[in-house]
Amino acid sequence: MSNTSKPDTQHFTAIERTDVDKLMPIELACHSHPWSEKTFLSCIGGRYFGEKLGEFLQVIEKDESCEQGIGFYIGEYVAGEATLMDICVIPTKQGKGYGKVLLNQFLTHAKKLGATKIFLEVRAKNIAAQMLYMNAGFIEIDRRTGYYPSSSGFGYEDAIVMSRSY
Ligand SMILES: CC(C)(COP(=O)(O)OP(=O)(O)OC[C@H]1O[C@@H](n2cnc3c(N)ncnc32)[C@H](O)[C@@H]1OP(=O)(O)O)[C@@H](O)C(=O)NCCC(=O)NCCS
């Protein structure tokens, strides 16, 4: 087994169509009803903006580094309003602060584009994501009853619509 260390080399890069192969495994691991590759591709370019977070791991024995994907976000910007379409942290890296880093990056990017209002939708049972959003100043503004197929595979789950301003 390789002896690896983790220097502080996390970095964001814009998501391009060629990244989808690498990001689909994270999408599949993170959601009970993940986007298809086709949907993912349709959310790259045009009014969409997205970045992936990666880190370089130094393989000490070989004196070389390899890149590991941590997570990504996809946003949509239209006429002063931005929507968070997707945000994922690979399960083995969850709970370590990366979600907060990704959300802040999304908010910064949206602001640069000119957004003054931010929206998102989250499953009613996704408490981890709701806590992340509430801590970033989002508040619940609406609820869509039975909007999502249930993550348990039986029945439906509400969507909570959240928003914040700049
Ligand atoms: C939601 C998600 C992006 C959060 O990423 P993360 O790296 O695990 O989150 P962080 O470690 O940065 O935690 C940020 C905040 O989220 C909340 N949070 C994270 N995990 C939580 C948990 N298991 N229970 C409750 N709150 C939690 C906390 O408020 C936390 O802040 P704190 O540590 O100061 O208390 C990640 O869990 C994920 O990818 N989930 C699957 C995909 C998903 O549900 N995306 C959202 C779709 S709307």
- What confidence tier does 4 reach under pLDDT thresholds 50, 70, 90? very low
CA-nearest residue for atom 1, ligand 1, is 129
How far apart are alpha carbons 28 and 34 in whole angstroms?
6
- What confidence tier does 151 reach under pLDDT thresholds 50, 70, 90? confident
Percent pLDDT > 70 in the chain is: 92
pLDDT of residue 3: 44
Active-site residue, from 37, 48, 81, 121: 121
What is 69-119 written as a DSSP string?
EEEEEEEEEETTEEEEEEEEE-GGGTTSSHHHHHHHHHHHHHHHHT-SEEE
The mean pLDDT of the chain is 92
Helix, strand, or coil here: 143? strand
Please return the burial class of 138, using the count of CB atoms within 10 Å of its CB with bins 0-12, 13-18 and 19+.
Answer: buried
CA-nearest residue for atom 48, ligand 1, is 122
- What confidence tier does 43 reach under pLDDT thresholds 50, 70, 90? very high
- Does the C-beta of 111 come closer than 6 Å to ligand 1? no
- Does the C-beta of 35 come closer than 6 Å to ligand 1? no
Distance 100 CA to ligand 1 centre (A): 7
